[in-house]
Amino acid sequence: MGLISPTLPKFDVDEWRAKSRAERTKALQQHWAIYGFGTPYAIYILYTLKIGLYILGGLLFAASTPGIGGLGNVSDWWFEPVVFQKVIIWTLLFEVLGFGCGFGPLTMRFLPPLGTFLYWLRPGTIRQPPWPDVVRGTAGSRRTIVDIVLYLGVIAAAVYVLLSPADRAVTGLGDDAFNLIEPARFLPLLIVLPIMGLRDKTIFLAARSEHYWVTAIVFLFPFVDMIVAAKLLMVAIWWGAATSKLNGHFPFVVSTMMSNAPLVPKAVKRRLWRDAEFDVRPGLLARALAHGGTVIEFGVPLILLLSRGGWVTTIALIIMILFHLQILSAIPMGVPLEWNVLMMFGAVFLFGRYSEYGFTDVTEPFLPYGLLALVVATIVAGNLRPDLFSFLPSMRYYAGTWATSVWLFAEGAEDTYAAKVTKSAQLPHRQLAKLYDEDTVDLMIGKLGAWRGLHTHGRAMVGLYPHAAEDHEKRTIFDGEMVAGSAIGWNFGDGHLHGEALLAAIQDQCQFEPGELRVIMMESPPFFRPVQRYRIVDAATGVIETGEVEVAEMLTRQPWDGSLPFNNVHRP
Residues 482-530: tens digit of each pLDDT: 999 999 999 998 999 999 999 999 999 999 999 999 999 999 999 989 9
Distance CA 2, CA 517 (A): 37
Write out pLDDT tens, residues 170-188.
776 766 777 899 999 999 9
Instruction: Tell whether 110 is covered by a domain.
Output: no
Distance CA 398, CA 494 (A): 10
* Position 12 confidence tier, pLDDT thresholds 50, 70, 90: very high
Interior CA angle at 207 toward 204 and 212, to 5°? Answer: 110
Instruction: Tell whether 237 is covered by a domain.
Output: no
Pair 444, 430: CB distance under 8 Å: no
Distance CA 103, CA 333 (A): 10
Distance CA 62, CA 91 (A): 12
Distance CA 73, CA 220 (A): 28
The whole-number pLDDT of residue 331 equals: 84
Whole-model pTM: value is: 0.95
The backbone torsions φ and ψ at residue 381, rounded to the nearest 5 degrees and listed phi first, read -60, -40
Count of beta carbons in the 10 Å neighbourhood of residue 117: 17
Q: Which domain holds residue 443?
A: 404-570
Q: Which helix (H) or strand (E) holds 550?
A: strand 542-550
Instruction: Tell whether 475 is covered by a domain.
Output: yes
Who contacts 456 (Cβ-Cβ below 8 Å, separation ≥6)?
248, 249, 252, 400, 551, 554, 555
Please say if the pLDDT value at position 168 is more than 90: no
Instruction: Tell whether 174 is covered by a domain.
Output: no
Query: Cis omega (within 30 of 0) on the bond before 112?
Result: yes
Domain count, the chain: 1
Q: Which helix (H) or strand (E) holds 332?
A: none
> Cβ-count burial of 566 within 10 angstroms (0-12 exposed, 13-18 middle, 19+ buried)?
middle
Instruction: Tell whether 498 is covered by a domain.
Output: yes
Instruction: Tell whether 502 is covered by a domain.
Output: yes
Helix (H, G, I), strand (E, B) or coil at 525: coil
Please say if the pLDDT value at position 363 is more than 80: yes
Helix (H, G, I), strand (E, B) or coil at 139: coil
Pair 544, 472: CB distance under 8 Å: no
Instruction: Tell whether 439 is covered by a domain.
Output: yes
Instruction: Tell whether 387 is covered by a domain.
Output: no
What is the share, in percent, of the chain residues with pLDDT greater than 70?
98
Count of beta carbons in the 10 Å neighbourhood of residue 119: 23
Please say if the pLDDT value at position 419 is more than 60: yes
The whole-number pLDDT of residue 2 equals: 52
Please say if the pLDDT value at position 321 is more than 90: yes
> Per DSSP, which regions of 315-435 are E strands?
404-409
Please say if the pLDDT value at position 202 is more than 60: yes
